[in-house]
Structure 1
Amino acid sequence: MKDDEYERVKQILGRRPTSAELAIYSVMWSEHCSYKSSKVHLRQFADKAPQTDALLVGMGENAGVVDVGQGWAVTFKVESHNHPSYVEPYQGAATGVGGIVRDIISMGARPVAVMDSLRFGPADAPDTNRVLPGVVAGIGGYGNSLGLPNIGGEVVFDPCYLQNPLVNALCVGVLKHEDIKRATAPGPGNQVILFGAGTGPDGIGGASVLASATFDEASAQKRPSVQVGDPFMEKLLIECCLELFAEDLVVGIQDLGAAGVSCATTELAAAGTGGMHVDLDRVPLRDPTLRPEEILMSESQERMMAVVEPDRVARFLEICARWEVPATVIGEVTDTGRLVMTWRGEVIVDIPPGTAADEGPVYERPYAPPADLEQIRADTPGRLARPSNADELRRTVLWLAGSPNLASKTWVTSQYDRYVRGNTVLAMPEDAGVLRITEPSAATGGVPPEAVESSLGIALSLDGNGRYARLDPYAGAQLALSEAYRNVAVTGARPLAVTNCLNFGSPEDPGVMWQFAQAVEGLADACLRLGIPVTGGNVSFYNQTGSAAINPTPVIGVLGVHDDVRRRLSMAFAAENTTLVLLGQTREEFGGSEWAHVVYGHLGGLPPLVDLQAEAALASVISSAVLDGLLAAAHDLSDGGLSQALVESCLRGGLGCRVTLPGDPFTTLFSESVARAVVAVRPGGESRLAALCEAAGVQATQLGVIGGDSLTVEGLFSIPLSELREAHEHLIPSYAG
């Protein structure tokens, strides 16, 4: 806490704060909890939010909630656990999953799937070899133990993330409209119950502190600040909460994540009647030597706080006992407008809760473009030598297919259970994860009975590109949204809502703050144009070592709806003699491209041109084509361009293809122009697809046909699928040990 912030606390209280009060304000006013450097910019998401009937709960709650039809709602959110995952990779990543799952529980929903967006330093760096296996094991170990399928995400390598890995975790849950819960403490006399795991020293000064400072050489000594997770307790907590919700025993609920008891009590009280009395002596402790300040700041995992009417407390505690979830009444809601806490008979906290929860400092930090930006933009990829013959083109296809960012991530995803619960329709390496929504059965522990069948479903994608955002953060955020939007659309779903995790360097650096302001404005403007709201998200600052910041990395999650998941599209080329058609316009665009990055280690120029109108038109064409049954497969074009899309679809389906390239082969193969997809058209559907494209203004170019055991570019080269597979699949296991 800075000196002026401390002086403000003294002004609020009219006295010197106690050590316990100072603990509350220090964590609640941290960058991680208060958003003090980002609030002034994040307001754009609300100010520019498109009007949509689907949005049931927007920003400001633990997670957004949207209507997906048939009385169902979906809640989803993505958050970061970056610094803890560098300090202690396994527990940092594991508790990142646990924390985002509890956000979903607190909305009244059953968690049904997780995703993750991961970024590391160079694939062959020793530190990556330390961090990557631990992070992947932590995500898999926690998510698999909860019985939640991991249905998608991304793994990216870049030197800028060395010593600053990004671990962004998303969770999605389903619920009925009438079951939505809120983080509020209404009704004087209602009881405050802390339930779940005991409170220990792990996590003291955890996410709220680690995420509010840059790294230095001492960061590796901060292991005690990283929380320790117990996924089996969290699984019990999930089922216990759902039974409590089913009996309508809860009037308000909040998970304990960053800032622990400090956050839960201040936020619940501030959003409710306005007051609360808490006896800290009643908090169950795993370590009886903890001081009050440590109890308040502990970020021990698997804990929830509920507000319960007095005559329902007994039943609440009975259900918790049946699930073997410890539960203790620690306080009571009041109408005093004060949060009062006692310890051994002495009042140690007496504050207006809103001043800690909602009235933290707000900084309008100075910002200006980074000093090197114009130089980087002027260094265009046009100066780089391009493949000049068929052999060089062939070699480039193989280089890209086997490069760290584009190579198969099977080594990673095979450690995650993608199909547990039986509702996964599509999962990685598909463009988006797709889930069927079914009515859970209490008798089967939430697993749908085999007799229950539903056609309603959702699609989710999580995407980002730090290189694009480094060149132009306004466009970079829009390009991340475009790709996630397109990934959802090519499965046949209608994009509906957005969440985000904004990963940046220090907000005290004017260059970083400019990048952040530009990215937020770009994302808000793009969501307004596409007509999809931002439902919530997370800001992660101070992702840098010393003065070296990561590339600005907005990670965007898009949720879409399938009216009938049986019609979903896979990326796999699996039907012989179907026609391949390239949808969208290809331009010569290589700024920030994988080709420039892989072959030359180059970053310069401008990223691809954003075309949101074209994205919407492409989505509408694919949606109509799916309804008409015209398509057998679809795959979006993004990193690596058409070349990589063909490689991935051929390998996914086990069939090759023969294509003829229009125009310059290099540009057609490797350009990363947006709003494009390659689709496989069922026999007889070509003319109908052409009519749909013409009506929507989408360019359609026939490329060739699916079949054979090679990727063949007529007149240039042919690559057997066996050779492609070897290039695509061997790299990551060799680096990950």
Structure 2
Amino acid sequence: MRENVANPMVNEPTPADIQTTQLYEQWGLTPAEYDLIVEKLDRLPNYTETGLFSAMWSEHCSYKKSKPVLRTFWSKNERVLQGPGEGAGILDIGDDQAVVFKAESHNHPSAVEPYEGAATGVGGILRDIFSMGAQPIAVLDSLQFGDIQSKQTQRLVDGVVAGIAGYGNAIGIPTVGGAMNFDATYQHNPLVNVMAVGLLDQKHLHVGKAEGAGNSVLYVGATTGRDGIHGATFASVEFDSNEDQNRSAVQVGDPFMEKLVMDATIRAIREFGDSIIGVQDMGAAGLVSSTAEMADKAGMGMTLDLNQVPQREAHMTPYELMLSESQERMILIVKKGHEAQVQQVFNEADLNAVVIGEVVAGLDYQLRFNDEIVADVPVDFLTSAPKVNLPQVKPARLEQATTEQYQPDVSQPTQVLTQLLAQPTIASKASLYRHFDSSVRTDTVVKPGGDAAVIRVRGTQKALAMTTDINSRYTYLNPYIGGQWAMLEAAQNIIATGAEPIGITDCLNFGNPDDPEIYFELAQSVAGINEVAQKINTPVISGNVSLNNETDGTAIYPTPMVGMVGLHTQTDHITTIKAKSAQDAIYLVGQLQGQFNGSELQHMQIGAISGDLLPIDVDYAQGVQQKVLQAAQQQLVASSHDIAEGGLAVALSEVLFGTTFGATVNVDAPIEWVFAEAPTQFVVTVKPEQQADFEKLMSTDAVKLGDITNDGQFKLIATNGQIDAPVATLESVYKDSLCQQLQ
């Protein structure tokens, strides 16, 4: 039996009180989990210890419910230097350089406090990047909101966009791309997913391990306050419209402080990397998660003196100090005797850099406060939530669905195109993204509005393409095919810029996993993602799970977000969307299909989605994508654009926007098919003198549709109808609609 632990906090419930009142249930622990803790400790846990377990065993920290699915992800290939399990994943990009990236969700906090929720989401994911020793170079987002006509949605959009812009702009990291969709399914539970990308010289790579008995635990950065306490638990439960949401669980960020912490951490690693054993961000569950996880990964124990923790509020208790999620804080493990040189780097930036404990042999995780032991638990037990094996049941809607396709009304095709361009999911987001500084650091080659953003790797001929992609409507109709589609769409966007896809991160946003139908959706979408990841050689090297995205028992659509990075070995290969010259030929690459289930057109015309999706031939899709990539790398294409929401007609329009050109095309298919949606289709333009080489490379996978013209008119002739409209008119609708709908 362990030593009887003193509890100096006289106003806190006693261990007996906690057991009697079942206070632990309010913090997310089940009776079975509490009983397991009592059995392991051979005593009742005190208030602080109960709090530690409730945070560390929350789904947000432990992934106890999603791990059986996550373990199926394919995460290794020749490029992987670091896969899942650390702050971020790392891929080799040659020349002893690496790209570091990860995505995180900040859904619940953003629903309650949209500005701070989004802002601290940016801050947290950036710390994951520079904790690895990398210099952050870009931020992307993926935002899902409810009905655009709702005042609540408009308030959330304003707050989230301002939060992302306010934090990213102030810290000096460009926000270069993302996605924004609107659907009633997110009315009470918006999704705010943020991805960050960094560059690393491989010699500076650091991970979050607390190795070496006697080495020091160094707290650096901002002071600790009472904001964000139990944020991890808050993120692991669903909303109830009859209850006030927990605003105290939302953190408050300071981007100017983060800039100091980022620069000092990177400098310390570069100058004194041999003295720094491990680095980790204090993210979800704050001080407890960072220190306990670092100790556990190294198979070591740890003692902390909580009186040494820098505080910004008076009379904070051990419970508050350990569970606070105050921002801009890091933990470094420093070799004993080398603390002063590392501390000096942070002190010169007017930052805290305080030794608060040490690594110890064994597996004891012990906290002291006012010369008393206030927590003493086995670290490997604290970081190992009990496994949960959940049942799966195929939803009834999927059992009943057929692949019989919705038949749209396209009797007035020009009007249909105009209406599609006004849809909030398709319409230009430039009016919102203009708040983001996409050019700071001066390395952005392709800014927001492209298929993927592109950032050059300074001092080389290389560049990195990056994108976030999502389509929850497809995943709702068929989780497996929806997962495949998300991957192929992300790859299309990367390839459209001329880059080779090299790896992904993800944010898996789902409802309550205790519902067997929702767990089925999670497992199937992961399986779809995983199949394509292996086919196209893009390992899943990092990610995030956000479950319990529900309000009053109603879940959002299953929403797996894929964040993908691609590599340009030569900046000459970079390709953009816009048409370049009149007389350039226009080609469709890939096959038109009459698929309308889940499409933007179906949703626009009937206000709902239904039916099953047609199977995807992944081998065919990969072959088409590789040919487009080869064409870009051989500089055979003048412009390239993937076909996504709204289908071919929308993609052709987007190729013309921002130019003075028009286009005349002929499509050997019914007019409705130019609004259909299917994976792996591109619109490319080719100079006349390169058409023969392009057609030879593409063989039967490309068909010439027509030519770019100088008349500013978009003309599309199909077998049973046509579109004829001034490009300027279409572009005006595309550019202005979102602003008008958000007023």
State yes or no: 1:9 paired with 2:14: no
Q: Of the candidates 684, 692, 695, which is equivalent to residue 687 of structure 1?
A: 692
CA-CA distance at 1:93 after TM superposition = 0.3
The answer as to whether partners of 1:658 and 1:707 remain within 8 angstroms in 2 is no
Rounded Cα–Cα distance in structure 2 between residues aligned with 1:410 and 1:675: 25
CA-CA distance at 1:510 after TM superposition = 1.3
Rounded Cα–Cα distance in structure 2 between residues aligned with 1:574 and 1:12: 69
Rounded Cα–Cα distance in structure 1 between residues aligned with 2:498 and 2:620: 16
Closer, same or farther: CA 571–706 of 1 in aligned 2, 3 Å: farther
What per-residue deviation string (whole Å, max 9, x for no partner) do you get for residues 638-684 of structure 1? Answer: 111111111211114342211112121211x1111111100010221
CA-CA distance at 1:379 after TM superposition = 8.9
Closer, same or farther: CA 706–107 of 1 in aligned 2, 3 Å: farther
Q: Of the candidates 705, 708, 711, which is equivalent to residue 711 of structure 2?
A: 708
Q: Of the candidates 671, 679, 690, which is equivalent to residue 674 of structure 1?
A: 679
Q: Of the candidates 350, 373, 381, which is equivalent to residue 398 of structure 2?
A: 373
Q: Of the candidates 410, 416, 420, which is equivalent to residue 387 of structure 1?
A: 410
CA-CA distance at 1:367 after TM superposition = 1.7
Q: Of the candidates 67, 77, 82, which is equivalent to residue 39 of structure 1?
A: 67
CA-CA distance at 1:28 after TM superposition = 0.4
Rounded Cα–Cα distance in structure 2 between residues aligned with 1:592 and 1:699: 26
Who is 2:155 aligned against?
Answer: 130
> AA paired with 1:17?
P
What per-residue deviation string (whole Å, max 9, x for no partner) do you get for residues 570-598 of structure 1? Answer: 00113221110100011111110001011
Closer, same or farther: CA 510–654 of 1 in aligned 2, 3 Å: farther
The answer as to whether partners of 2:408 and 2:602 remain within 8 angstroms in 1 is no
> AA paired with 1:281?
N
CA-CA distance at 1:613 after TM superposition = 1.7
Q: Of the candidates 259, 278, 282, which is equivalent to residue 235 of structure 1?
A: 259
Q: How does 1:558-573 map to 2 (within 5 A)?
A: 558-573=564-579
> AA paired with 1:263?
S
The answer as to whether partners of 1:111 and 1:173 remain within 8 angstroms in 2 is yes
Q: How does 1:250-329 map to 2 (within 5 A)?
A: 250-329=276-355
State yes or no: 1:417 paired with 2:437: yes
Q: Of the candidates 211, 214, 219, which is equivalent to residue 189 of structure 1?
A: 214
> AA paired with 1:226?
V
- Secondary structure of the residue aligned to 2:220 is strand
Rounded Cα–Cα distance in structure 1 between residues aligned with 2:709 and 2:586: 7
> AA paired with 1:40?
P
> AA paired with 2:422?
G
Q: How does 1:714-733 map to 2 (within 5 A)?
A: 714=717, 716-733=722-739
State yes or no: 1:212 paired with 2:236: yes
Q: How does 1:539-618 map to 2 (within 5 A)?
A: 539-618=545-624
Who is 1:449 aligned against?
Answer: none
Q: How does 1:164-175 map to 2 (within 5 A)?
A: 164-175=189-200
What per-residue deviation string (whole Å, max 9, x for no partner) do you get for residues 318-375 of structure 1? Answer: 1101112111110011113211110101111111112122x21221111212233344
Q: How does 1:276-675 map to 2 (within 5 A)?
A: 276-357=302-383, 359-375=384-400, 377-378=401-402, 380-382=404-406, 384-388=407-411, 392-438=412-458, 453-667=459-673, 669-675=674-680
Rounded Cα–Cα distance in structure 1 between residues aligned with 2:165 and 2:32: 43
The answer as to whether partners of 1:200 and 1:300 remain within 8 angstroms in 2 is yes
> AA paired with 2:462?
L
The answer as to whether partners of 2:581 and 2:708 remain within 8 angstroms in 1 is no
CA-CA distance at 1:42 after TM superposition = 0.8
Rounded Cα–Cα distance in structure 1 between residues aligned with 2:551 and 2:366: 40
The answer as to whether partners of 2:408 and 2:672 remain within 8 angstroms in 1 is no
The answer as to whether partners of 2:666 and 2:706 remain within 8 angstroms in 1 is yes
The answer as to whether partners of 2:663 and 2:706 remain within 8 angstroms in 1 is no
> AA paired with 2:430?
T
List runs of 5+ in structure 1 lacking aligned partners: 439-452
The answer as to whether partners of 1:187 and 1:273 remain within 8 angstroms in 2 is no
Who is 2:52 aligned against?
Answer: 24
> AA paired with 2:66?
S
What per-residue deviation string (whole Å, max 9, x for no partner) do you get for residues 201-236 of structure 1? Answer: 110111x12211110125544211100000000000
> AA paired with 1:386?
D
- Secondary structure of the residue aligned to 1:112 is strand
CA-CA distance at 1:273 after TM superposition = 4.7
The answer as to whether partners of 1:76 and 1:499 remain within 8 angstroms in 2 is yes
The answer as to whether partners of 1:608 and 1:672 remain within 8 angstroms in 2 is no
CA-CA distance at 1:381 after TM superposition = 4.4
Closer, same or farther: CA 179–706 of 1 in aligned 2, 3 Å: farther
What per-residue deviation string (whole Å, max 9, x for no partner) do you get for residues 59-101 of structure 1? Answer: 1111110011122100101110001000000000000000100
The answer as to whether partners of 1:381 and 1:596 remain within 8 angstroms in 2 is no
Rounded Cα–Cα distance in structure 1 between residues aligned with 2:245 and 2:104: 24
What per-residue deviation string (whole Å, max 9, x for no partner) do you get for residues 281-313 of structure 1? Answer: 111111122211111110000000000112221
State yes or no: 1:223 paired with 2:247: yes
- Secondary structure of the residue aligned to 1:401 is helix
- Secondary structure of the residue aligned to 1:192 is strand
The answer as to whether partners of 1:129 and 1:735 remain within 8 angstroms in 2 is no
Rounded Cα–Cα distance in structure 2 between residues aligned with 1:187 and 1:428: 45
Rounded Cα–Cα distance in structure 2 between residues aligned with 1:621 and 1:487: 14
Rounded Cα–Cα distance in structure 2 between residues aligned with 1:175 and 1:135: 29
- Secondary structure of the residue aligned to 1:155 is strand
The answer as to whether partners of 1:378 and 1:604 remain within 8 angstroms in 2 is no
The answer as to whether partners of 2:398 and 2:612 remain within 8 angstroms in 1 is no
Rounded Cα–Cα distance in structure 2 between residues aligned with 1:624 and 1:513: 39
- 4+ runs of 1 displaced by more than 4 Å? 378-381
Rounded Cα–Cα distance in structure 1 between residues aligned with 2:341 and 2:403: 68
Rounded Cα–Cα distance in structure 2 between residues aligned with 1:156 and 1:425: 25
Closer, same or farther: CA 525–199 of 1 in aligned 2, 3 Å: same
The answer as to whether partners of 2:587 and 2:702 remain within 8 angstroms in 1 is no
State yes or no: 1:149 paired with 2:154: no
The answer as to whether partners of 2:403 and 2:613 remain within 8 angstroms in 1 is no
The answer as to whether partners of 2:661 and 2:708 remain within 8 angstroms in 1 is no
> AA paired with 2:62?
S
The answer as to whether partners of 2:663 and 2:713 remain within 8 angstroms in 1 is yes
CA-CA distance at 1:20 after TM superposition = 1.4
The answer as to whether partners of 1:573 and 1:652 remain within 8 angstroms in 2 is no
How many residues align structurally? 710
Closer, same or farther: CA 607–701 of 1 in aligned 2, 3 Å: farther
Which stretch has the larger CA shift, 529-538 or 81-90? 529-538
Q: How does 1:107-118 map to 2 (within 5 A)?
A: 107-118=132-143
CA-CA distance at 1:496 after TM superposition = 0.6
The answer as to whether partners of 2:408 and 2:605 remain within 8 angstroms in 1 is no
CA-CA distance at 1:432 after TM superposition = 0.3
What per-residue deviation string (whole Å, max 9, x for no partner) do you get for residues 530-560 of structure 1? Answer: 2221101011001111121100000001111
Q: How does 1:88-103 map to 2 (within 5 A)?
A: 88-103=113-128
Which stretch has the larger CA shift, 16-25 or 366-375? 366-375
Closer, same or farther: CA 137–588 of 1 in aligned 2, 3 Å: same
Rounded Cα–Cα distance in structure 1 between residues aligned with 2:620 and 2:494: 15
The answer as to whether partners of 2:506 and 2:561 remain within 8 angstroms in 1 is yes
